Amino acid sequence: MSHQAFAELTGPAAATFDEVLRRNPGEPEFHQAAHEVLESLGAVLARRPELADAALLERLVEPERQLMFRVPWTDDSGRVRVNRGFRVEFNGALGPYKGGLRFHPSVNLSVVKFLGFEQIFKNALTGLGIGGGKGGSDFDPKGRSDAEVMRFCQSFMTELYRHLGEHTDVPAGDIGVGGREIGYLFGQYRRITNRYEAGVLTGKGLGWGGSQVRTEATGYGCVYFLAEMLRVRGDDLMDRKAVVSGSGNVSVFAIEKARELGARVVAASDSAGYIVDDKGIDLNLLKEIKLDRRGRIAEYADRVPHARYVDGGSVWEVPCDVALPCATQNELDGAAAAHLVKHGLMAVAEGANMPCTPEAVHVFQAAGVPFAPGKAANAGGVATSALEMAQNAARTSWSFADTDARLGAIMRDIHATCLATAAEHDREGDYVLGANVAGFLRVAEAMTAFGVV
């Protein structure tokens, strides 16, 4: 995204964004994430100009630590491969850095910084005492054997382990990093350190320190937020037609929870194309194809005669009542947003990180369509990671029902906080401003208390 595409900022926010552009050239995703937050902060800085003192904004957009390292590993044919690893420890004012690891060819420093910056405010909204960080690699686990994934994860952790700790930095999974990868990473951490620090990674298996609902949490949490957004408007998900992008953990469990609350989910996608099943997606079949076998979503249409598969294209071509973008950043643009609005869209909740472009967000807001940004709507994953950390610290575990109830309560609290904060700043119903300002105020208070560090 070019500089010209950004709305004009004023005052301290403008000066800070100019510095972001100058000091971080060639990082469009990070520029976009920083601009979105700084644009919202104009309202609060006008009321509380002291929050711009002591270069607080400048410190906020500068990571506390940026790690980039070589990850050599050997494939099954004996060939040595080299990938690049990242960990950006962005802001630890509220607690240990917390945020996932993403293994995908698109990963670069800009992507990791945008994700880490978003994580600051997302984590602050949970109220659970965790700072913001993110990491990953341009390694692609697709098509790799278990042995190759293991060797890569072991090499990755051999460098990263020295920067981790349950009171320092606690990674989790993200795109390309599921239970298999977390297992290999934790095994190597334990091997190197000779310590069983269960709280150093989250998303672990249930038999060795994991939490119930962690796998489902981001998708479930997104739908809990969506349901609350509809509830305060006197509506619900019953008989609503829904489209979910992606078909990984977040998407699958967003589909599961949306169905539980009465929605009919008719479309989902992967990187190759999308499926449409007007009778409602067969969730068990989708789980078998995408989660159990890591197959392609096209197989769904091969096995369900009335379903159709569209090669390429965008799942947002399918009209719906509610949209849940759960795949990746900037997947839903202004044209797609206008198409959805034209066909009766009534709400959007982001299950992924920044999946809607600024133009798309503007279209939704201008049309009066309630829009929940990812830093609020997809906070359920990191919230449940924090619950996993609490269980690890106490060497205990909670039931699925208990953890799910806690997750629901956290998401309802985040929704209420965003709504109240927006109203306080004369932007009734603006969840983007509410999330950004509420998260910022919590972080700013801690940063101010700590002095210039």
Give the residue numbers of the binding site for substrate.
98, 119, 122, 173, 385
SS3 state at 223 = helix
Binding residues for NAD(+): 218, 249
431: which 2 tokens? 């969840």
**Cα separation of 28 and 89, whole Å?**
19
- Cβ neighbors of 414 (< 8 A, separation 6 or more) are 125, 126, 225, 376, 379, 435
**Cα separation of 337 and 223, whole Å?**
19
**Cα separation of 133 and 19, whole Å?**
21
**Cα separation of 124 and 117, whole Å?**
11
Under 8 Å between Cβ of 204 and 190: no
* Cross-strand bridge partners of residue 87: 67, 135
Under 8 Å between Cβ of 176 and 103: yes
How far, in Å, are 120, 320, 375 from residue 439 at the CA level? 8, 31, 9
Active-site positions read 134
Nearest Cα to Cα of residue 369 among 301, 322, 305: 322
Q: How many angstroms from the chain centroid is the CA of residue 303? A: 31
**Cα separation of 237 and 222, whole Å?**
13
Binding residues: 98, 119, 122, 173, 218, 249, 385
Q: Find the angle CA(248)-CA(148)-CA(146) to the nearest 5 degrees.
A: 55
Residue with tokens 């947003």: 337
